[in-house]
């Protein structure tokens, strides 16, 4: 008998039929003797419908009122799921974020959870009820409704699991787990049974959009075992991918997965007189303009007098950043500014790297043997990232997937 938090996203509760499937799934866990707390999102399409209404009434919808509006989406789902459970003879009780005291700060649209009062939920669980909580929402100290931002239902689920000290937090989605890489690019991509929080963070931030990154951080911080699995498949103990801390008996892999990101663009400011503080003078104005910088590389010219400074930003910010850099280049007396939008970032991720040398050199050799030129390199303890021309993406990922034998269980 365990306490499990389930989370079902918009697709999994997208119609009355699907909500019935969710009810069936929850009842299977009750029949095993587990206590279940369920977090649900709005039915798919609902949030967008509400946003469209708002945009007809205010050019830039008021953040406080936007939260009042879109929090209704999850409120509809919690009521419907409780009805489906009761129809099947399973007692259940729904709670909005306000009702279960998910207290957040007042940052409407991107609020952070500060506190959860789990007393009501515990009382319901002891009465044999399933507790159904609206994801994505809370209330600030004054009782104003807040939302955690898109995808925030994952965070709600993990926060509830942490508050209740649940045995596992299961995130049901329309994919059946985390893969070694995108199966649409590499058909041999393999589902991972287990992965560490750190690896998942690197994979999530690098573009494997299975889980909200904040929920993974949260789960790691409070050590909540997190499982990603499909709501359309039968449950088994090896279902989906379990995200935990590194422990004995975990797959002894060097590399867990290969992430890639098509959303970046690369900019270079070349021939900058090399002086202390030059990086800050370049990146300061970029940060001030709310542009996030990802990879950063700096080279010194052979004679040591000038430096080339290269970094990547989101492709949407490319034009804006290029304009900004032209001004900075002039001020700094740099030689030139250039950029490239047609690049991709490819990253190998794995905690096994920590103790094994040679990952990077295998990576570079593999790419070289395919004739792929590396434009940027950046490494961290559990990750090696390279930037290559966009046209090489599939070729590079497939070659690396094969070179590291990711299609087979280690």
| Residue ranges in contact with a copy of itself by CB under 8 A | 16, 19-20, 50, 53-54, 56-59, 61-62, 64-66, 68-69, 71-72, 75-76, 78-80, 82-84, 86-87, 93-94, 96, 98-99, 143-145
Residue 60: CB minimum distance to a copy of itself, A: 9
Nearer to a copy of itself, 115 or 331 (CB): 115
**Per DSSP, what are the bridge partners of residue 261?**
345
Residue 323: CB minimum distance to a copy of itself, A: 32
Residue 94: CB minimum distance to a copy of itself, A: 5
Nearer to a copy of itself, 59 or 303 (CB): 59
Are the C-beta atoms of residues 240 and 229 closer than 8 Å to each other?
A: yes
Nearer to a copy of itself, 55 or 238 (CB): 55
Nearer to a copy of itself, 117 or 292 (CB): 117
Give CA–CA dist 162/156, Å, rounded.
10
In what order do the strands lie in the sheet containing 293-300? 293-300, 306-314, 264-273, 336-340
Residue 390: CB minimum distance to a copy of itself, A: 41
Nearer to a copy of itself, 92 or 211 (CB): 92
Nearer to a copy of itself, 56 or 408 (CB): 56
Residue 264: CB minimum distance to a copy of itself, A: 35
Distances (CA, A) of 22 to 11, 137, 157, 232: 11, 21, 16, 9
Nearer to a copy of itself, 86 or 190 (CB): 86
Nearer to a copy of itself, 69 or 228 (CB): 69
Residue 145: CB minimum distance to a copy of itself, A: 8
Residue 133: CB minimum distance to a copy of itself, A: 12
| Residues contacting residue 69 through CB under 8 Å, at least 6 positions apart | 50, 53, 54, 61
Nearer to a copy of itself, 15 or 305 (CB): 15
Q: Which two tokens stand for residue 137?
A: 């929402």
| Residues contacting residue 238 through CB under 8 Å, at least 6 positions apart | 193
Residue 39: CB minimum distance to a copy of itself, A: 15
**Per DSSP, what are the bridge partners of residue 344?**
388
Q: How many CA atoms lie within 13 A of 158 on its CB side?
A: 29
Residue 93: CB minimum distance to a copy of itself, A: 8
Residue 132: CB minimum distance to a copy of itself, A: 9
Give CA–CA dist 41/113, Å, rounded.
17
Residue 386: CB minimum distance to a copy of itself, A: 46
Nearer to a copy of itself, 56 or 236 (CB): 56
Nearer to a copy of itself, 150 or 221 (CB): 150
Give CA–CA dist 95/81, Å, rounded.
11
């Amino acid at each position: 008998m365990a306490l499990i938090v389930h989370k079902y996203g918009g697709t999994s509760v997208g119609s009355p039929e699907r909500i019935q499937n969710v009810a069936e799934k929850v009842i299977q866990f009750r029949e095993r003797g587990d206590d279940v707390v369920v977090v649900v999102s709005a039915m798919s399409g609902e949030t967008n419908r509400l946003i469209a209404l708002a945009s007809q009434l205010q050019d830039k919808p008021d953040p406080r009122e936007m939260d009042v509006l879109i929090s209704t989406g999850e409120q509809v789902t919690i009521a419907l799921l409780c009805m489906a459970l009761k129809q099947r003879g399973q007692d259940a009780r729904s709670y909005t974020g306000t009702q279960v005291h998910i207290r957040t700060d007042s940052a409407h649209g991107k609020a952070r959870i500060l506190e959860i009062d789990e007393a009501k939920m515990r009382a319901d669980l002891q009465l044999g009820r399933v507790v159904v909580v609206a994801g994505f929402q809370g209330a600030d100290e004054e009782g104003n409704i807040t939302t955690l931002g898109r995808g925030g239902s994952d965070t709600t689920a993990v926060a509830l699991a942490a508050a209740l000290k649940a045995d596992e937090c299961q995130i049901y989605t329309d994919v059946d787990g985390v893969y070694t890489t995108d199966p649409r690019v590499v058909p041999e991509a393999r589902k991972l049974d287990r992965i560490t929080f750190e690896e998942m963070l690197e994979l999530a931030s690098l573009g494997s959009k299975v889980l909200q990154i904040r929920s993974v951080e949260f789960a790691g911080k409070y050590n909540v075992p997190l499982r990603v699995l499909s709501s359309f498949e039968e449950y088994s103990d090896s279902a989906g991918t379990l995200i935990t801390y590194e422990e004995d008996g975990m797959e002894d892999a060097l590399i867990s997965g290969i992430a890639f990101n098509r959303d970046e663009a690369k900019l270079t400011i070349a021939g900058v007189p090399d002086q202390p503080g030059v990086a800050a003078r370049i990146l300061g104005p970029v940060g001030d303009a709310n542009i996030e910088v990802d990879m950063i590389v700096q080279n010194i010219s052979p004679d040591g007098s000038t430096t080339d400074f290269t970094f990547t930003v989101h492709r949407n910010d490319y034009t804006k950043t290029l304009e900004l850099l032209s001004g900075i280049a002039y001020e700094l007396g740099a030689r030139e500014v250039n950029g490239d939008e047609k690049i991709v970032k490819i990253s190998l991720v794995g905690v096994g790297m920590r103790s094994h040398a040679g990952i990077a050199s295998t990576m570079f050799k593999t790419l070289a043997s395919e004739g792929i030129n590396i434009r940027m390199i950046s490494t961290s303890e559990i990750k090696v990232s390279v930037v290559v021309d966009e046209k090489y993406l599939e070729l590079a990922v497939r070659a690396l997937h094969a070179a590291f034998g990711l299609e087979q269980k280690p």
